[in-house]
Protein backbone atom coordinates (compact mmCIF):
# COMPACT_ATOMS: atom_id res chain seq x y z
CA UNK A 1 0.00 0.00 0.00
CA UNK A 2 1.26 3.47 -0.91
CA UNK A 3 1.63 5.65 2.18
CA UNK A 4 1.13 8.76 -0.01
CA UNK A 5 -2.44 7.71 -0.85
CA UNK A 6 -5.23 8.39 1.61
CA UNK A 7 -8.26 6.11 1.59
CA UNK A 8 -11.20 8.35 2.44
CA UNK A 9 -14.77 7.56 3.42
CA UNK A 10 -17.93 9.65 3.33
CA UNK A 11 -17.15 10.45 6.96
CA UNK A 12 -13.61 11.69 6.29
CA UNK A 13 -14.21 13.28 2.86
CA UNK A 14 -14.67 16.82 4.21
CA UNK A 15 -11.49 16.67 6.31
CA UNK A 16 -9.30 14.93 3.72
CA UNK A 17 -10.56 16.64 0.55
CA UNK A 18 -12.66 19.74 1.12
CA UNK A 19 -10.49 21.23 3.88
CA UNK A 20 -7.13 20.32 2.32
CA UNK A 21 -4.60 23.12 1.98
CA UNK A 22 -3.30 21.80 -1.36
CA UNK A 23 -5.11 20.59 -4.50
CA UNK A 24 -6.57 17.09 -4.13
CA UNK A 25 -6.89 14.37 -6.77
CA UNK A 26 -9.73 12.05 -5.81
CA UNK A 27 -9.95 8.62 -7.43
CA UNK A 28 -13.59 7.49 -7.28
CA UNK A 29 -13.32 3.72 -7.83
CA UNK A 30 -14.71 0.28 -6.97
CA UNK A 31 -12.93 -3.09 -6.60
CA UNK A 32 -14.94 -4.79 -9.38
CA UNK A 33 -14.18 -2.07 -11.95
CA UNK A 34 -11.60 -3.18 -14.54
CA UNK A 35 -10.67 0.33 -15.74
CA UNK A 36 -10.33 1.38 -12.07
CA UNK A 37 -7.71 -1.33 -11.60
CA UNK A 38 -5.86 0.03 -14.65
CA UNK A 39 -5.86 3.59 -13.28
CA UNK A 40 -4.94 2.57 -9.71
CA UNK A 41 -1.19 2.09 -10.31
CA UNK A 42 -1.03 5.40 -12.19
CA UNK A 43 -2.66 7.17 -9.25
CA UNK A 44 -0.13 5.52 -6.93
CA UNK A 45 2.75 6.80 -9.10
CA UNK A 46 1.28 10.32 -9.11
CA UNK A 47 1.06 10.20 -5.30
CA UNK A 48 4.81 9.71 -5.14
CA UNK A 49 5.66 12.24 -7.88
CA UNK A 50 3.40 14.98 -6.47
CA UNK A 51 4.03 14.32 -2.76
CA UNK A 52 3.77 17.59 -0.84
CA UNK A 53 2.16 19.40 -3.80
CA UNK A 54 -1.04 17.42 -4.41
CA UNK A 55 -2.95 15.23 -1.99
CA UNK A 56 -4.05 11.91 -3.48
CA UNK A 57 -7.25 10.37 -2.13
CA UNK A 58 -9.10 7.19 -3.13
CA UNK A 59 -12.79 6.72 -2.38
CA UNK A 60 -14.43 3.32 -2.82
CA UNK A 61 -17.86 4.13 -4.30
CA UNK A 62 -19.30 0.75 -3.28
CA UNK A 63 -18.71 1.55 0.38
CA UNK A 64 -19.29 5.31 0.20
CA UNK A 65 -22.17 6.72 -1.83
CA UNK A 66 -22.72 10.14 -0.27
CA UNK A 67 -19.69 12.00 -1.67
CA UNK A 68 -20.04 10.60 -5.21
CA UNK A 69 -23.75 11.54 -5.22
CA UNK A 70 -22.97 15.05 -3.98
CA UNK A 71 -20.56 15.65 -6.86
CA UNK A 72 -22.58 13.91 -9.57
CA UNK A 73 -20.18 11.01 -10.04
CA UNK A 74 -22.09 8.67 -12.35
CA UNK A 75 -19.34 6.52 -13.83
CA UNK A 76 -16.11 5.09 -12.55
CA UNK A 77 -13.28 5.55 -12.62
CA UNK A 78 -13.72 9.28 -12.21
CA UNK A 79 -10.74 11.34 -11.14
CA UNK A 80 -11.77 14.65 -9.64
CA UNK A 81 -9.52 17.59 -8.85
CA UNK A 82 -10.58 19.65 -5.84
CA UNK A 83 -9.18 23.05 -4.89
CA UNK A 84 -10.37 25.18 -2.01
CA UNK A 85 -13.17 22.75 -1.23
CA UNK A 86 -14.57 22.84 -4.78
CA UNK A 87 -14.55 20.28 -7.57
CA UNK A 88 -12.73 22.21 -10.31
CA UNK A 89 -11.90 19.54 -12.89
CA UNK A 90 -12.31 15.88 -13.61
CA UNK A 91 -11.69 13.02 -15.96
CA UNK A 92 -14.15 10.17 -16.45
CA UNK A 93 -12.73 6.83 -17.53
CA UNK A 94 -9.28 5.34 -17.68
CA UNK A 95 -6.94 8.16 -18.66
CA UNK A 96 -3.24 7.95 -19.47
CA UNK A 97 -0.74 9.23 -16.94
CA UNK A 98 0.31 12.04 -19.29
CA UNK A 99 -3.23 13.44 -19.31
CA UNK A 100 -3.51 13.30 -15.53
CA UNK A 101 -0.13 15.00 -15.10
CA UNK A 102 -1.12 17.74 -17.56
CA UNK A 103 -4.32 18.43 -15.61
CA UNK A 104 -2.51 18.48 -12.26
CA UNK A 105 0.26 20.71 -13.62
CA UNK A 106 -2.33 23.09 -15.05
CA UNK A 107 -4.02 23.46 -11.66
CA UNK A 108 -0.73 23.78 -9.80
CA UNK A 109 0.39 26.53 -12.20
CA UNK A 110 -2.91 28.36 -11.75
CA UNK A 111 -2.45 28.16 -7.99
CA UNK A 112 0.99 29.83 -8.21
CA UNK A 113 -0.35 32.66 -10.38
CA UNK A 114 -3.45 33.30 -8.28
**pLDDT tens digit string along 22-36?**
999 999 999 999 999
Does 33 participate in catalysis according to the annotation? yes
Are the CB atoms for 106 and 54 separated by under 8 Å? no
Are the CB atoms for 4 and 14 separated by under 8 Å? no
Burial of residue 23, with CB atoms counted within 10 A of its CB: 0-12 exposed, 13-18 middle, 19 or more buried? buried
Neighbour count for residue 49 (Cβ, 10 Å): 14
Domain extent at residue 81? 5-113
**pLDDT > 60? residue 42:** yes
From the list 6, 8, 20, 33, the catalytic residue is: 33
**pLDDT > 60? residue 112:** no
- Among candidates 66, 58, 65, 52, which has minimal Cα distance to 23? 52
CATH code of the domain covering residue 62: 3.40.30.10
The per-residue pLDDT for range 58-74, each reduced to its tens digit, is 999 999 999 999 999 99
Domain count, the chain: 1
Does 66 participate in catalysis according to the annotation? no
Amino acid sequence: MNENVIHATDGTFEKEVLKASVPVLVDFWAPWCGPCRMVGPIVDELAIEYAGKVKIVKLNTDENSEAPATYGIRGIPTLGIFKGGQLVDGIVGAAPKSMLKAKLDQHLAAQVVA
